[in-house]
């Protein structure tokens, strides 16, 4: 398997015109430990941002919560580094903007991707991909960020996951035809998502993000008390309405306090 740079460039050029994107250098590897790790070393070499790195395989892909992201041939393993100037308190804005940007652009390609809080990409109630963001901060501001994205393309996946190829086969449509195109689309989703956030502001972006959340309406239990997820706050906390003996209160929970499962098929 190899990566055809020309196909990628043609696809990106089309999208860059539509979304008015900055130019971005792509560094391509066959096999490396992690694209996130690699891009940090490129930032250290003072490459102008944004830059992107993909690898056809990773031997130590970084997942959320210190997990390893299985990265066999056939998946998209991409990192994009961008400059920004975002208060550390609002680091969630980058999470919502990135996940919304990717889900939104895939929906334009007729792939009904939604989001599981905080940033899993979901298709048909299964995990299509994940996002791992790392940041560099100075004076309580995020100055640049590495946005790592794994999307299941034709790679084999665990039970609760799905790849795009099997979705296309079941639905008899193939709106994205190769990994090069998926790479260009995902990069465009990340960059245009952040651009859109700067244009419309955080409240409107939060509303967009909440609309794509599968978690809304999900039943949860908090300290033995039944509740329903009602949304996500601007700081990225999950809002849950607790119901007990006629009374109802709304609480906000941070990531360490609750984790959501996948919805039933």
Cβ nearer to ligand BTN, comparing 69 with 117 = 69
130 binds ligand BTN (CB under 6 A): yes
Cβ nearer to ligand BTN, comparing 36 with 114 = 36
Binding piece for ligand BTN, criterion CB under 6 A, among 21-29, 96-104, 144-152, 221-229? 144-152
Pairing of strands 25-32, 51-58: parallel
| Interacting residue with ligand BTN among 63, 230, 233, 255 (CB under 6 A) | 63
Per DSSP, 210 falls in state: H
183 binds ligand BTN (CB under 6 A): no
Tally of CB atoms within 10 A around 140: 8
Cβ nearer to ligand BTN, comparing 134 with 234 = 134
Cβ nearer to ligand BTN, comparing 21 with 131 = 131
Q: Select from 240, 229, 237 the least CA-distant residue to 254.
A: 237
102 binds ligand BTN (CB under 6 A): no
E strand or H helix at 148: strand 141-151
259 binds ligand BTN (CB under 6 A): no
Cβ nearer to ligand BTN, comparing 201 with 261 = 261
| Interacting residue with ligand BTN among 8, 24, 50, 62 (CB under 6 A) | 62
Tokens describing residue 86: 């975002």
Q: Select from 118, 172, 124, 171 the least CA-distant residue to 152.
A: 124
Place of tokens 């939104």: 104
Angle between helices 179-200 and 202-211 (to 10 degrees): 130
Cβ nearer to ligand BTN, comparing 34 with 98 = 34
35 binds ligand BTN (CB under 6 A): yes
For the chain, report the end-to-end CA distance as a whole number of angstroms. 33
Q: Are 230 and 240 in contact (CB under 8 A)?
A: yes
116 binds ligand BTN (CB under 6 A): no
34 binds ligand BTN (CB under 6 A): yes
The Cα 236–Cα 123 span in angstroms is 22
- Residues in the chain, total: 265
Alpha helix ranges (H) inside the chain: 5-19, 35-44, 92-108, 164-171, 179-200, 202-211
79 binds ligand BTN (CB under 6 A): yes
Minimum Å distance from CB 196 to ligand BTN? 22
| Interacting residue with ligand BTN among 42, 52, 61, 100 (CB under 6 A) | 61
Binding piece for ligand BTN, criterion CB under 6 A, among 41-49, 54-62, 192-200, 211-219? 54-62
Binding positions for ligand BTN, rule: CB under 6 A? 34-36, 58, 61-64, 67, 69, 77-79, 120, 130-132, 148-150
């Amino acid at each position: 398997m190899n990566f055809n740079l020309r196909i990628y460039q043609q696809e990106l050029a089309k999208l860059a015109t539509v979304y008015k994107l900055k130019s971005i250098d792509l560094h391509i590897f066959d096999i490396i430990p992690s694209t996130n790790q690699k891009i940090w070393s490129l930032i250290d070499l003072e490459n102008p941002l944004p830059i992107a790195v993909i690898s056809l395989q990773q031997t130590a892909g970084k997942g959320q919560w210190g997990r390893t992201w299985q990265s066999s041939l056939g998946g998209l393993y991409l990192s994009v580094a961008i400059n920004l100037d975002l208060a550390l308190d609002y680091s969630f804005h980058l999470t919502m903007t990135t996940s919304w940007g990717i889900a939104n652009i895939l929906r334009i390609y007729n792939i009904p991707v939604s989001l599981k809080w905080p940033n899993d990409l979901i298709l048909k109630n299964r995990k299509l991909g994940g996002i791992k963001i790392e940041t560099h901060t100075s004076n309580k501001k995020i100055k640049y960020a590495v946005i790592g994205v794994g999307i299941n393309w034709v790679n084999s996946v665990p039970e609760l996951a799905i790849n795009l190829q099997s979705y296309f086969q079941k639905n008899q449509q193939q709106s994205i035809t190769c990994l090069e195109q998926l790479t260009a689309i995902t990069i465009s989703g990340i960059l245009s998502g952040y651009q859109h956030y700067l244009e419309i502001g955080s409240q409107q972006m939060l509303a967009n993000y909440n609309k794509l959340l599968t978690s809304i309406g999900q039943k949860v239990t908090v300290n033995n008390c039944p509740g329903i997820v009602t949304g996500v706050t601007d700081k990225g906390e999950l809002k849950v309405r607790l119901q007990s003996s006629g009374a109802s209160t709304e609480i906000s929970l941070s990531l360490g306090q609750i984790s959501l499962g996948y919805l039933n098929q």
